[in-house]
Amino acid sequence: MAVGGTTAFYTFSRILSVLRARKFDCRLIDQSEEYGMMSIQGPRSRKILSELFNVSEDQFSNEKFPFSTHQILNVDGTDVRVMRVSFVGEMGWELHVPKDKCFKVYHHTFEVGKPYGIVNAGYRAIDSLSTEKGMRLNFHHSCAS
């Protein structure tokens, strides 16, 4: 499960309380510090990702990679959890990368994305971009209007 921003502690605590209340024999492990996250959003994101992961663009089609699903794909010998999500009102994915490989994957992503006009955007850009598309965000969880 990937939980972002300010809701991470609440979500972890809530799940833990349910596990304890129901006396499940399991452990809940927070691996937040083990991964970094990059978001690839926009109409050219499929092209960038297909080149980054060296797969057909069809691999990122709606049929093969539906919204709110994930796949483990490999880039430069690194397994990356790719999640189909968007908080900006455009097609998009999150890349969850082991923290010791983040710079390598980031730089490779930018090299691949240069011909497509890839740019950095700060995390708060999500708020303004989603507003432009008429989406309201609450604690960075999408609530389509």
| pLDDT above 90 coverage of the chain, percent | 58
Over the chain, what HEC string results?
CCCCHHHHHHHHHHHHHHHHHCCCCCCCCCCHHHEEEEEEECCCHHHHHHHHCCCCHHHHCCCCCCCCCEEEEEECCEEEEEEECCCCCCCEEEEEEEHHHHHHHHHHHHHHHHHHCCCCCCCCHHHHHHHHCCEEEECCEEEEC
Instruction: Of 87, 70, 95, give the one whose Cα is nearest residue 131.
Output: 87
Q: State the Cα–Cα distance between residues 69 and 86, nearest whole angstrom.
A: 12
Q: How confident is the model at residue 140 (pLDDT cuts 50, 70, 90)?
A: very low
Contact present, 138 and 113 (Cβ < 8 Å): no
pLDDT reading at 2 higher than 60: yes
Q: For residue 10, what pLDDT is reported?
A: 84
Provide the residue count of the chain. 145
Q: State the Cα–Cα distance between residues 108 and 120, nearest whole angstrom.
A: 14
Say yes or no: domain 34-144 is CATH 3.30.1360.120. Answer: yes
**What are the tens digits of pLDDT across the range 35-67?**
999 999 889 999 999 999 999 999 999 999 999
Higher pLDDT: 95 or 122? It is 95
Q: Given the structure tokens 């490989």, which residue do they identify? A: 101
Q: For residue 141, what pLDDT is reported?
A: 43
Question: Domain segments of the chain: what residues?
Answer: 1-30, 34-144
Average pLDDT along the chain: 86
